[in-house]
Amino acid sequence: MKSDWSMDRHIMFGKGASCNQERVWSPCLSMKSDWSMDRPIMFGKDDRELTASLLTEDHFRCSVCTEVLKEPVSIPCGHSYCRQCIETYWNQPDQTGEYDCPQCSKRFRTRPDLLTNSALEKVIEKLHQAGFKVPALPKYCYAGPGDVACDLCTEKQLKAVKSCLTCTASYCESHVRHHYTVAALQRHTLVEVTGNLEQKLCQLHHRALEVFCKTDQVSVCLVCALQDHRNHDVIKNERDTEE
């Protein structure tokens, strides 16, 4: 709206009076500068605790070896690993011909090229120079005698906390989290960690025993339920998933 009136209140001067008005700060003030308006993140001694609280260890920990990333490389799905870790993982016999991401299980028909993650490598180098270290895992997290080890850990195997009947593998706390966040993995059947996964699989179809036939009092896979147990009374196998 056009107006000859100012938004500011008029200053009234009495007889013989004088007044100095302080210049009002304008939000539209523009200034050319090479400096960012945000305070730079300092990695000095005084800011280590602040930095550690803002950055999570997942940013710098390789999910295969569970150590700080060394020579970080990225694969097509966006996840990063130590170069040696992902190469060793893909060199396993069961990865021949088809390669997957250890975190999201995305599969690649051809072996992906490993792209050096230079930005992440520089950040980790700066953090090392500042004395920042990823906290070491407690000793009880590692698999000992009588424990079921995580099938994805390579160097230092962590203790498995869950077993997947669909993957026929056991996972530590770090590796199993993807079964709760990745849509494709959420359909898998997780059970309490067990070392005898083969006994929980259908010997005929090599599938998880996901249903229980009340008629024959036996756990069967979905294929068996649709074929040999089609007219039987079957329910979800909650007994096995709780064991």
Q: Which amino acid is at 133?
A: K
Residue 35 lies in a domain: no
* Residue 114 DSSP one-character state: P
Report how many domains make up the chain.
1
Which structural domain range is residue 84 located in?
43-136
> For residue 152, which of 140, 144, 162, 138 has the smallest C-alpha distance?
162
Residue 101 lies in a domain: yes
Residue 55 lies in a domain: yes
| pTM for this prediction | 0.48
Instruction: Report the CATH number at residue 82.
Output: 3.30.40.10
Any idea which residue has 């097509």 for tokens?
Answer: 76
Instruction: Tokens for 216, please give them.
Output: 């024959």
Bridge partner residues of 158 (DSSP):
142
> For residue 76, which of 51, 96, 100, 44 has the smallest C-alpha distance?
100
Per-residue pLDDT, 114: 92
Per-residue pLDDT, 94: 64
Residue 77 lies in a domain: yes
CA distance 44 to 151: 39
Residue 15 lies in a domain: no
Per-residue pLDDT, 102: 82
Per-residue pLDDT, 174: 79
Per-residue pLDDT, 101: 87
Residue 90 lies in a domain: yes
Taking CA atoms, 76 is separated from 61, 204, 229, in Å, by: 19, 36, 43
Per-residue pLDDT, 74: 93
* 196: number of Cβ within 10 Å: 9
Evaluate whether 148 touches 170 at the Cβ level (below 8 Å).
Answer: yes
Per-residue pLDDT, 24: 44
Residue 52 lies in a domain: yes
CA distance 13 to 239: 89
For the chain, list residues with pLDDT below 50: 1, 6-8, 13, 17-19, 21-54, 240-243
Per-residue pLDDT, 193: 86
* 155: number of Cβ within 10 Å: 13
Residue 8 lies in a domain: no
List pLDDT tens digits, range 136-159.
Answer: 666 778 888 888 988 888 767 888
